[in-house]
């Protein structure tokens, strides 16, 4: 089988490794190492490894010998991460494509720019509705690693952090006891 669109092996395996990260280690062993293309397709579909036609053609291109697909080599390549970094698991809050990055520019907890931002403390309340960029299109890092946002969001974070400092409130919203520790 000849792939209509060829994807180089490293890019292809890293793409599938990211997509199937939660399913790879719970897969049952394939019935045999070498499978026909129909058997490989049915094994992958039955176990939730859904790929499109171009990706299946690339599986056949990179992991086949004649008319059979070496499923064990394919699965072991997916389970072996050679990048030297921890896997980056995405949540439902981040942009799903580069074309939607402008939708996730507020300072709320999300995955963006390949880093996980920490959530705002609950006792701060609801953040200001500052979903758009600043007046000059300036997005800035929010104080204390809370992500990125515009000027109103940065002022809101700084004001809440200052209130917490003055009242000696922790990030969980706990205030110190007035006369010391009562646990004794």
pLDDT tier for residue 178 given thresholds of 50, 70 and 90 = low
Residue 43's beta-bridge partner residues?
none
Domain membership of residue 49 (yes or no) is yes
- The confidence score (pLDDT) of residue 167 equals 83
Domain membership of residue 177 (yes or no) is no
Tell me, yes or no, whether 57 and 103 share the same domain. Answer: no
Tell me, yes or no, whether 75 and 102 share the same domain. Answer: no
pLDDT tier for residue 26 given thresholds of 50, 70 and 90 = confident
Run of H or E including 70: strand 68-70
pLDDT tier for residue 110 given thresholds of 50, 70 and 90 = very low
pLDDT at residue 123 is higher than 60: yes
- For all residues of the chain together, what is the average pLDDT? 74
Domain membership of residue 184 (yes or no) is no
Domain membership of residue 85 (yes or no) is no
Pairing of strands 34-36, 68-70: antiparallel
**How many folded domains does the chain comprise?**
2
Task: Supply the range of the domain harboring residue 149.
Answer: 98-167
Mean pLDDT of 51-63: 88
CA-to-CA distance for 34 and 39, rounded, in angstroms? 9
CA-to-CA distance for 83 and 68, rounded, in angstroms? 29
Say which range, 13-27, 118-132, 144-158, has the weakest mean pLDDT. 118-132
For residue 139, give the 3-state DSSP assignment: coil
Distance of CA 47 to the CA centre of its chain: 22
CA-to-CA distance for 126 and 134, rounded, in angstroms? 19
pLDDT tier for residue 159 given thresholds of 50, 70 and 90 = very high
Tell me, yes or no, whether 56 and 105 share the same domain. Answer: no
pLDDT tier for residue 115 given thresholds of 50, 70 and 90 = very low
Domain membership of residue 105 (yes or no) is yes
Q: What does pTM read for this prediction?
A: 0.44
Tell me, yes or no, whether 72 and 14 share the same domain. Answer: yes
Tell me, yes or no, whether 32 and 59 share the same domain. Answer: yes
- For the chain, the C-alpha Rg in angstroms (whole number) is 24
Domain membership of residue 89 (yes or no) is no
Q: Are 107 and 153 in contact (CB under 8 A)?
A: yes
Tell me, yes or no, whether 74 and 19 share the same domain. Answer: yes
At a CB cut-off of 8 Å and minimum separation 6, what does 156 contact? 127, 128, 130
Domain membership of residue 127 (yes or no) is yes
> Per-residue pLDDT tens for 138-152?
677 888 888 777 778
């Amino acid at each position: 089988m000849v792939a209509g669109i060829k994807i180089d092996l490293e890019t292809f395996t890293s793409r599938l490794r990211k997509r199937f990260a939660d399913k790879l280690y719970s897969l049952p062993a394939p019935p045999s190492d070498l499978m026909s293309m129909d058997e490989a397709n049915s094994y992958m579909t039955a176990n939730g490894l859904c790929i499109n036609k171009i990706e299946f053609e690339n599986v056949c291109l990179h992991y086949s010998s004649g008319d059979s697909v070496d499923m064990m080599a394919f699965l072991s390549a997916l389970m072996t991460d050679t990048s030297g970094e921890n896997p980056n698991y995405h949540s439902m809050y981040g942009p799903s494509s580069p074309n939607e990055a402008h939708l996730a520019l507020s300072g709320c907890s999300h995955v963006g720019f390949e880093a996980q931002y920490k959530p705002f403390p609950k006792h701060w309340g609801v953040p200001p509705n500052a979903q758009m960029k600043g007046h000059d299109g300036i997005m800035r890092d929010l104080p204390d690693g809370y992500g990125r946002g515009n000027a109103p969001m940065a002022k809101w974070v700084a004001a809440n952090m200052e209130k917490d400092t003055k009242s000696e409130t922790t990030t969980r919203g706990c205030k110190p006891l007035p006369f010391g520790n009562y646990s004794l």
